[in-house]
Amino acid sequence: MARNRTRGIHPVASRVLAIDAGNTRVKWGLHDGTHWLKSGHIETAKAAQLKTVFSRLPALSAVLVSNVAGAAARAALERALPKAPAARWIRSAAAQCGVRNSYAKPAQLGCDRWAALIGARHVHRGAAVVVNAGTALTVDALSADGVFVGGIIVPGAELMRSALARDTAGLRRRPGVFSFFPDNTGDAIVSGAVNALCGAIERMARNLEAGGGQEVLCVLSGGAAGLIAPQLNLELKVVDNLVLEGLSVICRDTAS
């Protein structure tokens, strides 16, 4: 998305297709530099079906993809994407868009986590725990000066429930809701999973708060955000599709 600097002409209206390919779903959004114009999602196993969806989009100025779903998902998306412009498959960097990466090997940080950190930095300039509640729960600590300090990965609520059903004799999957004091097995399993996830988030927030002396905001995204958010004892900001937000920020930064 380079500018024509010789004549001072700016490009035609920006239309960025951002794609977040996760283990369960592929989420996508069309951004014009200010607003999301369209968005959607599909099961990752059905990613090839996005070819029809993408063929109906207007001309694009850029395509950015975060893919943590492996080679098969990438191949399906490559078949579904328009031929031009060429897609940019992002990787984590040592520093980008005001965020510095403290991972021992920066490129090994999941690109979805990196995009989410950048998205979180864009919506909040203070210290934050950046949480994506999907198939797995990731909880990443972002200091007030934009340093990714480190983070954890925890099985998500559905993975926890599936593991209990698979590996125990009497804890098969059954309906349940959250309760502080569950009085049946279904509620006990759901409540245990939610408490474990909230505990991981709150512990990371307290450690970050203790280290920096600042109140910490939890920036929460992902399909299980609605399950977790009501039980968190933290200042909270829920952001739909935080990875896509980060991809749009990366695209604008690259184009400037």
Active site residues: 112
**Residues forming a β-bridge with 89:** 65
Determine the 3-state secondary structure of 11 from DSSP. coil
Task: Quote the DSSP letter at residue 23.
Answer: S
Sign of dihedral through CA atoms 147, 109, 124, 233?
Answer: negative
Query: What is the spatial distance between Cα 233 and Cα 195, in angstroms, rounded to a whole number?
Result: 11
- Would you say 20 and 27 are in contact if contact means Cβ atoms under 8 Å apart? yes
In terms of Cα–Cα distance, which of 38, 31, 220 is closest to 120? Answer: 220
Cα(19)–Cα(42) distance, integer angstroms:
11
- Do 74 and 67 contact (CB within 8 A), yes or no? yes
Cα 87 to Cα 1: distance, rounded to the nearest angstrom: 12
Query: Cα angle at 184 between 179 and 189, to 5 degrees?
Result: 65
